[in-house]
Structure 1
Amino acid sequence: MGISQTDDLVFQFINHMAVTFSTLNPFMRFLSEKAEYLFYLGIIVYWFTRIHKNRQMVITTLFSACVGFGLGSILSHFFYRDRPFVHDTVNQLIEHSANASFPSDHSIGAFVIATGIGLFHKKDGVIWLVLAGLISFSRIWNGVHYPSDVITGAFIGVISALMIYQMVHRWSVAYKCLNVGIDLYEKIEKKIWINYKKDRSSNLKN
């Protein structure tokens, strides 16, 4: 049995769960359509903790995401693949345009952020990686991706995060630029906050 046949059989097995375990469908739709916003919210929350290590993590992770999505875009052009619902009858639970299926952008994004967080905070990373896995699984369940799409996307996300993390921490110039950028931002942030408090105090007095 070839890889393509195995991929299709695994897809059919998981996608049919939407019929067998239909009570889970609302949860799976949430994972596919909304759960990615939890990652965006998480990145924002980590940034505004105003902890230097967290800000290093956020910037490193965002650079990793750029690399990951760039690699995914290149692969999708060289190895174009239609989505499962284009040629076959599947249990499609969410709306999706009939664009490239390989690799999964959702998997890239979820795993690059989860791995980026895990490299700085191991315990937090486990939680985010579990969520990334659930999102990827839901994309198959809902009929918009094949297993190989999400597996490749996850691989790209993890490798991109590891690569940028290693580059930043082993290349002194990159590490210095990262910290200089954060320090500059924090000086501007502090100045804005001081001016805000002055203006607020002045308005209260008036």
Structure 2
Amino acid sequence: MNLTLFHMINGLAGHNIFLDKIMTFIAVYSPILYGMLMLVQWFIGGDKGKKTSMNAFFAAIIALGLNLIISTVYFEPRPFVHHKVNLLVKHPADASFPSDHASGGSALSFTELMYDKSIGSIMMVLTLLLLFARIYVGVHYPLDVIAGFIIGFISSKILRGLEGILSPVEGYIIKIWHKIFA
């Protein structure tokens, strides 16, 4: 099922140059898009925006940490290692499961949705496109990105549970920011 669904999605690649370029852009540059949204939030969202940006960043760190643990215990080769694929981007043949892009993006999105529905909604749409794009360009199986999405969700919940510990740290960072740029 995982391979069949992969071939269905990846089979769309290479037939429409416009769609290929969009999917490649999303698959490769989504972390920059998330970062830009968080910077806008940092600069125009007041202290609440700064705190939300930091929370989302911390959730993404948790997600990527969980991925590191999982990928050292379970190694799944990338689709292009053992199968004929329409590979649209160069990628090392490292662990495919779970997807770091999907985990980080969904951690950011779910956390943003908890604190800022407008930016969170934009990020969630980007994340859903990202999940599809990573399969489309040939670097992940569907279960890789689904696992990443779930890990991102769990990471946002872990972050929520750590609010009491992180809030003073975030307050201190915001205080320093105001001292430097006030």
Q: Deviations over 1:30-61 (max 9, x none)?
A: 11112321111111121122601011111111
1:102-142 C-alpha deviation (Å, 9 max, x unpaired):
11111112111112211111132122101111011101011
Q: More deviation in 22-31 or 141-150?
A: 22-31
Please, which runs of 5 or more residues in structure 2 have no aligned partner?
Answer: none
| Residue 141 in structure 1 maps to residue 133 in structure 2 | no
1:23 deviation in Å? 4.3
With normalisation by structure 2, the TM-score equals 0.92
Summarize the alignment of residues 17-166 of structure 1 with structure 2, pairs less than 5 Å apart.
Answer: 17-19=12-14, 23-49=18-44, 51-166=46-161
| 1:63 Cα deviation after fit | 1.3
Equivalenced residue count is 182
Find the structure with the greater CA-based Rg. 1
Partner of 1:178: 170
In structure 2, relative to structure 1, the CA distance for the partners of 1:101 and 1:175 (3 Å cut) is same
- Partners of 2:38 and 2:17 lie apart in 1 by 32
In 2, distance between residues paired with 1:141 and 1:159? 25
Work out whether 1:188 is the aligned partner of 2:177.
no
Q: 2:61·2:104 contact (CA, 8 Å) conserved in 1? A: no
User: Which residue of structure 2 aligns with residue 196 of structure 1?
Assistant: none
Identify which of structures 1 and 2 has the higher relative contact order when contacts are C-alpha pairs closer than 8 Å and 6+ apart: 2
| Amino acid across the alignment from 1:85 | F
Alignment partners' CA distance in 2, 1:63 and 1:19: 37
Report the identity percentage. Answer: 34
* C-alpha separation in 2, matches of 1:76 and 1:65: 16
> Measured at CA, do residues 182 and 36 of structure 1 come closer, stay the same or move farther in structure 2, by a change above 3 Å?
same
